[in-house]
Amino acid sequence: MFFRPKANVSDSAKSRLEFCLQQIAECIGFDRFTLPVLSRETLFQVYEAERTPQQVVAFVGKHLGHDVEGIQVRFGLPQAPSTGGGCCGGSSCSGPSELPGRYDATNRSITLDQQIDNDPALGIATLIHGVVCDLLSQNNFAGAHFPELVELAVVGTGLGMIRNSISLVAKHPTSWDSTQWELSPRPFLDGPSLAYTNAIAAWVRQESSPAWSKELPGDLKRPMQKSLKFLLKTNDCFFQPRLKQTLLSQTQSEWWQLAASPTTSNQVIALRHLQSSVMPDDEQESLILDKLRSPSAAITLNAIAAVERMAAQEPSIAGEAIVTELRTLTDHRDDEVRAKSMCALAGLGALDEATVETATDMLDDHQKHLVFAGLFALCTRDSVSEEAVQAVDRCFVRLLRACDYDFADLIAAGYRRWLTDPESHLQDLFQNSPEHLTIALETLQNVPQRLVPLGRIA
């Protein structure tokens, strides 16, 4: 049986990491991403030679071809080490939650919170992080203060071997990110992202079996090798520094052409850049429909987002064929696609009777993004069926019993729109739960009637 090679991260995460690397490279230069990867031993020897932080800063600056003369290294007050408690759902974690120091762009200083000898790996990693921060800041990179972007630059420029062996705890978001691109700022790279970034580092250097990969911890080495095999086999990567192509300032015509690319990352990134203030031609509409039908959830999600974005500029873009496809997607096998398409239809004012029924069914689901999508859709309607109101009632009771108030305002706004006497309705609904009744009535009194836009998105 033939198995299609896969990266160790999702299509959405993969394309986002590649896009961020391209952003960084277009700012600080592509050549820095083909510099040799420095081993842990080399980096430790630099410090051991004179045991001064300035020696490490100078060495990293020379490697990067970056002037570090103006960088100051300071020592701050010692801080208690972080155990990461609470970062993993209450269980203990194996690493610190951050590096013991920080970079300040206003005076080009790196402050260390502990002596390097206390933990040489953490100390040297902090200095490397600071020098790369300085490189990004001096080149006016807008994301120089985001840890994840700095780490991408650290690994991409061949300076990540010490960082690879440090388990920095990344707090994973609990809110729904409908395309897995929207949440920002993000924390340090998590394990899968770090493994994939190392795979890219090997691939762009044309190293099919890099010697430095032997130094990777096992939990990074295996997924890194998996992704490296994927990249060598498919060349499916938006970030290709050896070509030295400036891609982020492409014209709309070029983004549309890239959206037709066979590689997943190119399609996702191109879809995120599509803009249109006029009705798309038949070829463009056909391309959007093709992406909405893609077997890749990442492509489908970003195609839906593209429809929403373009329809905000020109509502007629969401024609009958596209709306029909969006309605079909509300029954998709992927929950996030179902939720995203439902929200898009609601924003476009394109709900029909069948999708309203589907929205009602979503309220009984325990996936919060599906519940939100169903509520959002129903709340764009001036009236709903009795069955829909009953579904909202069940949902509201379930959420309040769980002390979950995320959607309370949205539900209260719906009651205000649909019911002539929402207060009496809530009194009947919570007649046996006075504590919940108080919360429900307070929410009803404080919420405006319309929390969501009516008709097409503005």
Give the pLDDT confidence of 308-318 residue by residue, as tens digits: 999 988 888 88
Residue 230 tokens, joined: 């994927």
Kind and range of the H or E run holding 258: helix 252-259
Q: How far apart (Å, rounded) are the C-alpha atoms in residues 294 and 375?
A: 27
Q: How far apart (Å, rounded) are the C-alpha atoms in residues 166 and 209?
A: 22
Please name the amino acid found at residue 352.
Answer: D
Contact 273, 238 (CB under 8 A): no
Q: Computed over its alpha carbons, how large is the radius of gyration of the chain?
A: 26
Look at residue 456 and tell me whether its pLDDT is greater than 60: no
Residue 280: count of CB within 10 angstroms of its CB: 19
- Residue 192 Cα to chain centre, angstroms: 13
Average pLDDT score over residue span 348-364: 96
Q: 363: buried, middle or exposed (CB in 10 Å: 19+, 13-18, 0-12)?
A: buried
In the chain, the largest separation of any two C-alpha atoms, in whole Å, equals 79
Residue 211 vs residues 40, 69, 164, 208: alpha-carbon distances, Å: 12, 32, 15, 10
For β-strands 72-75 and 109-112, DSSP reports them as parallel
pLDDT tens for each residue of 300-309: 999 999 999 9
Contact 330, 367 (CB under 8 A): no
> How many residues in the chain?
458
Closest to 133 measured CA to CA, from 148, 145, 119, 125 = 145
Residue 8 vs residues 110, 222, 257, 351, 458: alpha-carbon distances, Å: 34, 9, 27, 37, 38
Closest to 278 measured CA to CA, from 297, 298, 253 = 253
Contact 66, 135 (CB under 8 A): yes
DSSP-derived 3-state class of residue 281: coil
pLDDT tens for each residue of 419-455: 999 999 999 999 999 999 999 999 999 987 555 544 4
pLDDT tens for each residue of 112-126: 999 999 999 999 999
Look at residue 149 and tell me whether its pLDDT is greater than 90: yes
Q: What is the pLDDT of residue 418?
A: 96
pLDDT tens for each residue of 208-262: 999 999 999 999 999 999 999 999 999 999 999 999 999 999 999 999 999 999 9
Residue 412: count of CB within 10 angstroms of its CB: 25
Q: What is the pLDDT of residue 220?
A: 96
Residue 105 vs residues 64, 71, 134, 395: alpha-carbon distances, Å: 18, 10, 7, 49
Band of pLDDT at residue 172, cut at 50, 70 and 90: low
Bridge-partner residues for 101, per DSSP? 112
Sign of CA dihedral 424, 429, 432, 434: negative
